[in-house]
Amino acid sequence: MCGIVGYVGTPGKTPSAVGLVLDGLRRMEYRGYDSAGIAALDGKGGMAVEKRAGRLDNLAEAVEDANLNNYESTTGLGHIRWATHGRPTDVNAHPHVDSDNKIAIVHNGIIENFAVLRAELEADGFGLRSDTDSETIVHLLHREYYGDGENRGSIDKSVRAVANMLEGAFTIVIAHADHPDRLLACRRNTPLVVGIGEDAMFLGSDVAAFIEYTRQAVELGQDNIVTITKDGYTITDFAGTEIEGRPFTIDWDLEAAEKDGYDYFMLKEIAEQPHAIADTLRGHLHNGRIVLDEQRITDEDLRQIEKIFVVACGSAYHSGMLAKYAIEHWTRVPVEIELASEFRYRDAVLGPDTLVLAISQSGETADTLEALRHARAQKARVLAICNTNGAQIPRESDAVLYTHAGPEIAVASTKSFLAQVTANYLVGLALAQARGTKYAEEVEEIFQDLENMSAKVEKTLEQWDNVNEIAGHFAQNDTMLFIGRNVGYPVALEGALKLKELAYIHAEGFPAGELKHGPIALLEEGVPVIVIMPSPKRHPLLHSKMVSNVQEVQARGATTIVIAEEGDDSVIPFADHIVRIPECPSLLQPLVATVPLQMLAAEIATQRGYDVDKPRNLAKSVTVE
């Protein structure tokens, strides 16, 4: 996600804030971003702010043009932004400042109640310049600090009051030009660490922000507020009670710090999937109703929809297959899944009563974009699922739901895939809500089930050592097969794709019921077969069918690796290896069942000596047909 740097130094002893903060932002470029900005305090009540859309070089040029490289300051903050609310523009970039140019803030996360807060501020006469949720924070601080209430003139009390107003996920760093000796920061659900330097203190969304200057750091807990000065730090909770942080020593170099200690970005991104699910859901259930990010389709329009097409490529296509199961089950509207590269060449029947769901991580996938344009030309409605705010696909769509997975550095899709699956389910619930096929309490119950999946994915990650051991048995195999039924079939396809992408192994995914219709001929002694086993409690008939399939596989001498629910002992006699996943609703099982397959592909690729982050011949975004 976005990156934050904060710094308070000692005049004459430590570097200028402008150069130091810019360097810190460069060390966090790996996170991905679409705009950047910096604020520096001069110690005399003044503050300089520059921010630009695009690359950090744009910001550096603006700093040079404004002669800020010679700006005398040892207190500053900076930000690189990955757009969530509002397109990547100069105005929407951080820092955001108040009307007096006295208070500056940078923010990571999502403020769920920003619409209510914004309306309240506008009613009070505040003029907001950006489209972001973040800008509300700086005006709330201004109102508290300069208002007639008990917080007037106290930056500490004002920050505490505003932190308690906010709902959602946030890390916020605050500077006030009249308090140039300090920075304040607060966090909830998103990371923030303090760096302890010599004659200086630092803040960062991760340690890469300040690792050049210190290896001593303090981790903040949930709902903590920290104040740093050149001499030290204090931490309180949101009620103002002083508490202790958790000191630690950074024993990584810069490259490892960027990857949070993981050997590859992909491994880090697999581990970030609980957050990707939670962030994608955050703010989309409001007053008992599912809300999208941008919607120019009314509920009446959705009620007129008679058919839905899902168009996507690669992993996004597999997520779309899962959308079909959910949407048809919850709405009873027929859904067709189409490879975007084929869609506009087969003369699909489209019209005003058709909804096209276009799924793309980048929002620039050429085949998906052309499929969308073809659908619009036929008067169909288009709803986009995208991870990149302001990209071409969402701009040309009638409605948008953003997946808040954050930037994905590794080429192979992991956290963006799970975020897409989550978003697809949200679309299904929004359709069911609009069409009246689910009661409000049913929609809310399913949404809560989705929220619970974040913890279940976290628990699945505990299987990593087990999966690594299994990978050691099969790293030198030339072929692997994957089988599943119902929602397990798209999971099998996604598992096979990951293995092909990363380990360059021939891998195929099949519907388990199709084994006897041809694929069973591929089975021979020692061939690994990965089985996605449905829940015996929630889908007993499907489970019994899959057990029969596993027996067929084992009888031909193949080696079985079974992804099975905790407590499912019926598979033990037929499984050579078992990976356990938590029990969950059948439709949601792919959110946990996919994770061990991602880990398996990454570990096999590593053991074969391949670069997991940059598989050969592949690009992150396919922007040509």
Contacts of 398 (CB under 8 A, 6+ apart): 295, 296, 297, 381, 382, 383
CA distance 383 to 294: 9
Contacts of 277 (CB under 8 A, 6+ apart): 418, 419, 422, 450, 453, 454, 457, 591
102 is catalytic: no
In this structure, are residues 593 and 463 in contact, taking their beta carbons and an 8 Å threshold? no
Contacts of 391 (CB under 8 A, 6+ apart): 360, 362, 363, 364
CA distance 349 to 577: 46
CA distance 17 to 414: 37
2 is catalytic: yes
Q: Rounded to the nearest 5°, which phi and psi values hold at 177?
A: -60, -25
Going by C-alpha positions, the residue among 546, 471, 525, 530 that lies closest to residue 502 is: 471
CA torsion through residues 76, 163, 204, 280, sign: negative
Cα dihedral 387, 388, 393, 399, rounded to 10, equals 70
Q: Which of 307, 545, 614, 620 is catalytic?
A: 620
Q: Is 200 left (phi over 0), alpha (psi -120 to 50) or beta?
A: beta
Q: Rounded to the nearest 5°, which phi and psi values hold at 73?
A: -160, 140
In this structure, are residues 191 and 245 in contact, taking their beta carbons and an 8 Å threshold? no
Going by C-alpha positions, the residue among 242, 251, 196 that lies closest to residue 219 is: 196
Q: Rounded to the nearest 5°, which phi and psi values hold at 339?
A: -70, 125
Buried b / exposed e along 148-159 (16+ C-beta atoms within 10 A): eeebeeebbbbb
Q: Which of 2, 186, 313, 386 is catalytic?
A: 2
What are the C-alpha distances in Å from 304 to residues 35, 284, 353?
Answer: 40, 23, 6
Contacts of 301 (CB under 8 A, 6+ apart): 381
CA distance 486 to 324: 11
CA distance 220 to 235: 8
What are the C-alpha distances in Å from 144 to residues 129, 138, 169, 239?
Answer: 19, 10, 21, 16
Q: What is the largest CA-CA distance in the chain?
A: 81
DSSP one-letter string for 285-347: EETTEE--SEE-S-HHHHHT--EEEEEE-HHHHHHHHHHHHHHHHHH---EEEEEHHHHTTTT
Read off the tokens for 6.
Answer: 């904060």
* Residue whose pair of structure tokens reads 């099982």 in the numeric block: 589
CA distance 424 to 104: 37
Contacts of 194 (CB under 8 A, 6+ apart): 201, 202, 203, 217, 218, 220, 226, 228, 233, 245
CA distance 578 to 468: 12
Q: Rounded to the nearest 5°, which phi and psi values hold at 524?
A: -155, 175
Residues with a catalytic annotation lie at 2, 620
